[in-house]
Amino acid sequence: MTDTASAPRRSWLKLAFLASLAVNLFLVGLIGGQVLSEPDDTVKRAKASRGYSLHPRVMMEALPATRHDDIRAYWAEARKGMGQEWRKINTIRREVDAALRADPFDAMALRDAQQREVDARAALRMRQNDDIADFLATLTEDERKAVADLALARLEEQTAYWRERARKRREAEKQ
């Protein structure tokens, strides 16, 4: 008589191995897909500036790498205090919300709160414009022209995109 006492089955080991293999293949596929794929037009458009922009991102693209450190330094300095300004704007937005929810509703209080928000955003934008103008004054004429050329090209790209989108929408509505 042969004694064939079998070892306990280790089916959980096979399941763990298969689960590990599946997770690894998923991660390799996910990372490989991100690396090898081209971004969609919507992603490209989201990364692009809107219209005519003198944002530091546009300046860095337009100017040689030797100027990038200057742009970064300017942008770091220009951003100082912006967080506080945005917190003030968010406080005003909460006032707009409170005026909207008030019972009884007071349209004039809502308009006043909305105007305070518009004024605060305009003051922040004017500060940003002043900072940009101060930095652009440090550039050479050729560098300023390069920034302007890229900003104008971006504006024309955006205009062409929106015209094409409107044309496609009109064609779709006709059908």
Kindly state whether residue 6 falls inside one of the protein's structural domains.
Answer: no
Kindly state whether residue 41 falls inside one of the protein's structural domains.
Answer: no
Residue 3 has pLDDT above 70, yes or no: no
Kindly state whether residue 138 falls inside one of the protein's structural domains.
Answer: yes
Kindly state whether residue 13 falls inside one of the protein's structural domains.
Answer: no
Domain extent for 123? 54-174
Kindly state whether residue 5 falls inside one of the protein's structural domains.
Answer: no
Kindly state whether residue 10 falls inside one of the protein's structural domains.
Answer: no
At residue 48 the predicted structure's pLDDT band, cuts being 50, 70 and 90, is low
What is the model's pLDDT at position 89? Answer: 94
CATH of the domain at 95: 1.20.120
**Per mean pLDDT, which range of 2-6, 9-13, 117-121 is the poorest?**
2-6
CA 90 to chain centre: 19
Q: Are 106 and 114 in contact (CB under 8 A)?
A: no
What span, in angstroms and rounded, lies between the C-alpha atoms of 49 and 14? 52
Domain count, the chain: 1
Kindly state whether residue 39 falls inside one of the protein's structural domains.
Answer: no
Kindly state whether residue 58 falls inside one of the protein's structural domains.
Answer: yes
Q: Are 128 and 48 in contact (CB under 8 A)?
A: no
Average pLDDT, the chain: 85
